[in-house]
Structure 1
Amino acid sequence: MKKQAIGLLDSGVGGLTVMKEAMKQLPNESFYYIGDTARCPYGPRPEEQVKAFTWDLTRFLLDKNIKMLIIACNTATAAALPELKRVLKIPVIGVILPGSRAAIKTTHQGRIGVIGTEGTIRSEEYRKAIKKKQQQTEVFSQACPKFVPLVESNQFNSAIAKKVVTESLRDLKRQKVDTLVMGCTHYPLLKPLIQNVMGEQVTLIDSGAETVNEVSVLLDYYDLAEEKTDQPNERKFYTTGSVNMFKDIASSWLKMNEIEVEHVSVEELKGIELNESDRK
């Protein structure tokens, strides 16, 4: 019997940071990933539009018969997670709660920084999640809208990236946080630069990596985990944007030489309907 895959969606290539950790922690699983590069970034967009785009990607993955959905995008998690969990039959996991829990466990001084897209920071979902579990913790949020375009254009190792990160984090550095949540799955690709600016005394939290820890637990809870077999695992990637750009970034970040990337048009996404069998 063919293995059912876990689906991951993101506004672009950022969710590959989640994919990398998922392949490491869950080597027996198959994965389908779609990045909406053509409509990236999601951060500046209105919440209802982000929700609609997230549904487009979700229906595409459901059409591939996935068994679990990971919203590997903080902006999409903030906008669409409650609705997706309410409607869909399969388990749906976002990246905000796992990142928040990890930050609470890590902080020693109760001073947590959160960086993210404009949409994520505007939603205040990280602040609300952290305050709900630890009211006395101080949360300092900073939108970093220039980070995602740097990653999507494959410039995250460039001199301009260093300059942008330094300027973007200048005010947050003054808050003397001891823990910083990278509240966008694109940001771990800039981790060395972020760490250099904030200082080694600040612990960086990768919300995507923390999410995979929870996925592992939920696979066992729902009895969905795959056992090791001779059957090969699938690693399929789809993008609404440039296949070559996506492949370059994915190959480098995932350390994969042979990577299968297919282009999916936005019009094709919009033509897929939600099957009643996918609803609760």
Structure 2
Amino acid sequence: MSDNRPIGVFDSGMGGLTVLKALRAALPGEDLVYLGDTARLPYGTKSPETVRAYALQAVQLLMSHDVKLVVIACNTASSVALGPLSDALRPLPVIGVVEPGAEAGCSATKNGHIAVIATESTVKGGAYERAIHALNADAQVTQLACPLFVALAEEGWTEGEVTEGAVKRYLLPLFPDGGEVPDTLVLGCTHFPVLAPAIGQVLGDKVTLVDSAATTARAVALTLKDKDIAHAPADEKSIVRFMATDSPERFARVGSVFFGEAIEPENVELVDLKPAPA
């Protein structure tokens, strides 16, 4: 069988476009619908209740496009809303980015000490620590909230003095000279991969940087196969539809940095998220 319904992807803004990029590379035959809730960014400083409400509204809009699977390409929403959304949408598959990111971190570490940088909400919720310990009970997990990284990424400030200064201020205390330090750094927010070059320049090659985009794409591919809902043939170029809740022009300009190719403003639909029905 071949299921040509699209895969729905949503994020609080543009960071999830790194996941969309990985999905497009891994699943070239699948059509994709992306929603960035740019009007209410960031999610990471909001309460779990608010994030769950926002996530449900986003998914309701994606459902109106007859999606066959939903990817929560937002670590904050994955950490607090994956369970409720999975229950609400069952049997529609819902995949988050936390578990794939934890899996990638556990695979990469040599000394069992993994650092996770994320938003305040993700760190406070402890989702990564739980996911990593579910895979490796002996792992040592160090978490740090880096909220300024989201703003830098959204502004497209991926390099330069300001970005390098923020990276040093946040991360150097995690990796002091001497003693045992983490050998793996999980980028626990989909906005952070665009800052990876700056982070790598500061930390050097002693630390392996991990993001969940490729691992999430593999999880989606396995789910499509398991549920027999993949679209064949897989050699077709996927059609990507973009939606944003604020400023399509800015979404296209900055989003191109995350997506790795140009996004034309006229191809970004401005949408309004209404409260989900009770």
Taking structure 1 as the reference length, what is the TM-score of the superposition?
0.91
Q: Is the 8 Å Cα contact of residues 60 and 272 (structure 1) preserved in structure 2? A: no
Equivalent residues of 1:113, 1:181 under 8 A apart: yes
2:161 maps to 1:159: yes
Deviation at 1:102, TM superposition (A): 1.3
User: 2:128, 2:236 → 1: CA distance?
Assistant: 40
AA aligned opposite 2:208:
T
Aligned-partner SS, 2:206: coil
Q: Cα distance 1:189–1:83, how it changes in 2: closer, same or farther (>3 A)?
A: same
Residues 87-166 of structure 1 mapped to structure 2, 5 A cutoff = 87-88=88-89, 89-166=91-168
Q: How is 1:255-274 mapped onto 2 (pairs within 5 angstroms)?
A: 255-257=260-262, 259=264, 260-265=267-272, 269-270=273-274, 273=277
TM normalised by structure 2 equals 0.92
Distance 1:90 1:173, change over 3 A: same
TM-superposed deviation, 1:208: 2.4
Partner of 1:238: 243
Cα distance, 1:232 vs. partner? Answer: 6.3
In 2, are the aligned partners of 1:7 and 1:70 still within 8 Å (CA)?
A: yes
Contact residue 35 and residue 244 of structure 2 kept, 8 A = yes
Q: Does 1:44 align with 2:45?
A: yes
Once the two structures are overlaid, the 10-residue window that deviates more, 77-86 or 161-170, is 161-170
CA shift for structure 1 position 94: 0.4
Q: 1:116 to 1:271 in 2, by over 3 A?
A: closer
Residue identity in the other structure for 1:132: A
Residue identity opposite 2:166 in structure 1 = V
Q: Aligned letter for 2:184?
A: T
Q: Structure 2: how far apart are the matches of 1:8 and 1:158?
A: 31
Shift of 1:196: 1.6
Runs (4 or more) in structure 1 with deviation over 6 Å come to 229-232
**CA–CA distance in structure 2, aligned partners of residues 228 and 186 of structure 1:** 32
Q: Is the 8 A contact 2:29 2:236 kept in 1?
A: no
RMSD between superposed Cα atoms in Å: 1.9
Which residue identity lines up with residue 250 of structure 2 in the other structure?
M
Q: Is it true that 1:210 corresponds to 2:212 in the alignment?
A: no
State the shift of 1:197 in Å: 1.9
Amino acid of the residue matched to residue 220 of structure 1? K
Shift of 1:56: 0.9
Unaligned runs of 5+ in 2: none
Q: Which runs of 5+ in 1 are unaligned?
A: 275-280
Residue of structure 2 equivalent to 1:277: none
